[in-house]
Amino acid sequence: RGKMDEGKAYSPGGVFAHLEMLEARACEAATKKEETERQEEKLARLKARVEELRLQRDELQAKVDLQQKRQLGKEGVASAPAQPSAQAVLEWKIKSVEAMLQVFYLTGISGKLTKLGVCFCISTAYEGTYLDSYYLDLLTKPEVQIHRHSVPIFIPLGQIAKKYLQTDIRRFLSVLSDHLNAYAGRRYQADQLQEHFSDQIEGTLQRNSLCNLLVFNYNVSSKRKTFLFNVRLLYGDLCCSLPTEVVISCTPDAPASLAEMAAAHSDLFRRVALHKAFRSFSSAEENMD
Amino acid sequence: MDNSICQVYEDIIQSLEEEIKLLAEKYEDSQQESTFFSDEEILMSIKSFQREFQGESKGCESPSDLKAQLESLETDLSFLMKFTGIQFTSHSKKTVEKTRNRTVRKHRLSGNCHSLSFQLEFQLLEMQNKESVSAVISDLSIIMESGEDSDVSKFVSSTEEHGNLLTFFRSLSSYAEWYEHRRCTFLHFK
């Protein structure tokens, strides 16, 4: 039986409950204190880390600034200021050769020798923009075979291999590269059209995986009225990124003058890349206004 | 409340770590790009490196590792040059801009394809997207040995205008082969 607080009357059960409550409160306070201490420790650690990193950053910045000043003071290519270690020289050479190998990527054909053959990488580009690259892992013994590749299934790899792989690997890669680059170019044009001229396209641009068949509708304006042209582009030559066949049709209520426009557009699509053709429409319209 | 302060510090830490990484890369790039060692210097280094560590294994890069790595890379390079017919004789680059997602470098490249020699300068912009790196060529300038030939100069100007570096190399190979064939034919009839 516990003592009772002055002026307060508790039943024995109430005292225990009160003590439990006080104990719980003390526990809570202790936990909170621990928690606060932990938070403060964490904060102190973080602050210290920030200071450490700031110092590191400032040192590096000073190093880079000094390097820039040194380089501006000398003409052309300078050798390292301090005597470099043999290891540093070798590491420089390794990076230099790696950079040269990366440049080959820009030429369209790059690769590396493997234990059992060669792994080629064919890069594709449209003008100055490099697009996807494709891998061909070739085995060279007992005869040249394709071990693995990342060429899409709609590119006639089997046909091209059958014709050239055994007799002329260079020709094989060159023809395959023609196909891949033309496909990449067609896809790029369609993507550019959708990205930059979506306001002129009505509905969706339909295309097949090989991107050699495109069908879409686009707006044209004539005498301040807008009409819809439907165009079907067929790229009959798989090594070419310009269409071989262009069919433009308009709605039956279209005026006769539109037929001339359709013929002009049809001619343009045959000669000029799709997105460039649309670019010329926009600027032509601007000029007319 | 404390949590948000901690978060602020953690964000600062992350941005400092990125800054440090970038600065370190800038320093490395600049060192690499402003240095040049001749083949003799490379050979001497290989020899002295092997002597220094005779029997000793120090750190993670032993001399035989580095030498093997260099040999493998040089074998790949020499194979590619022989296979494509494109021989690069010199290459230099300068990093002009480098941020977390963007790197811009100026390249100077010279070489020959069969008997045709060329000199190129271009700017390469590489951007890190979500899944891949995109590369775009600009400011392409091409000097070709047989530049007086009107066909060649037309081809060169059109290539320069559109930054068609890839097309340049692909066409160069076939043109060089044809040119070589023609030259041999003329010599044969002389």
Q: What is the pLDDT of residue A107?
A: 95
Nearest to B49 among A46, A78, A87 (CB): A87
Q: What is the pTM of this model?
A: 0.83
| A29 touches B at CB < 8 Å | no
Hey, are the CB atoms on A100 and B88 less than 8 Å from each other?
yes
DSSP track, B38-93 = -HHHHHHHHHHHHHHTTT---SS--HHHHHHHHHHHHHHHHHHHHHH-EEEEEEEE
- % residues pLDDT > 70 (chain B): 92
Q: What is the pLDDT of residue B190?
A: 67
Query: Taking a C-beta distance cutoff of 8 angstroms, is the pair A197, A285 a contact?
Result: no
pLDDT at A56 over 90: yes
Hey, are the CB atoms on A50 and B13 less than 8 Å from each other?
yes
Interface of A with B in 93-152 (CB under 8 A): 93-101, 103-104, 106-113, 118, 123-125, 127-130
Q: Which of B74, B188, B8, B82 has its CA nearest to residue A95?
A: B74
H/E stretch holding B1 reads none
Identify the sign of the CA torsion B160, B165, B171, B172: positive
Locate B59 and state its tokens.
Answer: 């750190």
Q: What is the pLDDT of residue A79?
A: 46
Q: What is the rounded distance in angstroms from the CA atom of residue A225 to the CA atom of residue A202?
A: 16
Q: What is the pLDDT of residue B69?
A: 92
Mean pLDDT of B34-43: 88
Nearest to B23 among A57, A77, A128 (CB): A57
Hey, are the CB atoms on B36 and A181 less than 8 Å from each other?
no
pLDDT at A138 over 80: yes
Neighbours of A45 (CB within 10 A): 12
In one-letter notation, the amino acid at residue B77 is L
Q: What is the pLDDT of residue A226?
A: 86
| B34 touches A at CB < 8 Å | yes
Could you give the 3-state DSSP secondary structure of residue A13?
A: helix
Query: Taking a C-beta distance cutoff of 8 angstroms, is the pair B79, B71 a contact?
Result: no
Average per-residue pLDDT for chain A: 89
How far is residue A49 from each of residues A36, A57, B19, B48, B136, measured CA to CA in Å?
Answer: 20, 12, 15, 41, 39
Locate B145 and state its tokens.
Answer: 């040995």
Q: What is the pLDDT of residue B48?
A: 83
Residue of chain A whose alpha carbon sits nearest to that of B17: A53
pLDDT at B163 over 50: yes
DSSP single-letter state for residue A108: S
Q: Which residues are CB-neighbours of A60 under 8 A, at least 6 positions away?
A: B20, B23, B24, B27
Q: What is the pLDDT of residue A86?
A: 84
* Mutual angle of helices A12-73 and B2-34, in 10-degree steps: 20
Locate the domains of chain B by residue range: 1-52, 84-189
CA-based nearest distance B154→chain A, Å: 16
Backbone angles phi, psi at A219, to 5 degrees: -85, 140
Q: What is the pLDDT of residue A1?
A: 47
Task: Give pLDDT tens digits for A123-135.
Answer: 999 999 999 999 9
Q: What is the pLDDT of residue A182?
A: 97
Q: Which residues are CB-neighbours of A22 under 8 A, at least 6 positions away?
A: none
Could you give the 3-state DSSP secondary structure of residue B180?
A: helix
Instruction: Categorize the per-residue pLDDT at A76 as very low, low, confident or very high, splitting at 50, 70 and 90.
Output: very low
| A53 touches B at CB < 8 Å | yes
pLDDT at A284 over 80: no
CA-based nearest distance A61→chain B, Å: 7
Mean pLDDT of B12-33: 93
Task: Give pLDDT tens digits for B116-144.
Answer: 899 999 999 999 888 888 899 999 999 98
Mean pLDDT of A60-65: 92
Could you give the 3-state DSSP secondary structure of residue B103?
A: strand
| B154 touches A at CB < 8 Å | no
> Does the ipTM surpass 0.90?
no
CA-based nearest distance A280→chain B, Å: 17
Neighbours of A10 (CB within 10 A): 14
Average per-residue pLDDT for chain B: 87
Residue of chain A whose alpha carbon sits nearest to that of B1: A39
User: What residue has token string 């790696």?
Assistant: A98
Q: What is the pLDDT of residue A5?
A: 53
Q: What is the pLDDT of residue A4?
A: 52
Q: Higher-confidence residue: A289 or B168?
A: B168
H/E stretch holding A232 reads strand A225-234
Rg (CA), chain B: 23
Could you give the 3-state DSSP secondary structure of residue B108?
A: strand
Mean pLDDT of A162-166: 94
Instruction: Categorize the per-residue pLDDT at A160 as very low, low, confident or very high, splitting at 50, 70 and 90.
Output: very high
- % residues pLDDT > 70 (chain A): 91
| A44 touches B at CB < 8 Å | no
Mean pLDDT of A34-47: 91
Task: Give pLDDT tens digits for B76-114.
Answer: 999 999 999 999 999 999 999 999 889 999 999 999 988
Locate A156 and state its tokens.
Answer: 């006639």
End-to-end CA distance of chain B: 91
Interface of B with A in 48-77 (CB under 8 A): 48-49, 52, 61, 63, 66-67, 69-70, 73-77
Hey, are the CB atoms on A111 and B16 less than 8 Å from each other?
no
Q: What is the pLDDT of residue B176?
A: 76
Locate A239 and state its tokens.
Answer: 């090594």
pLDDT at B147 over 80: no
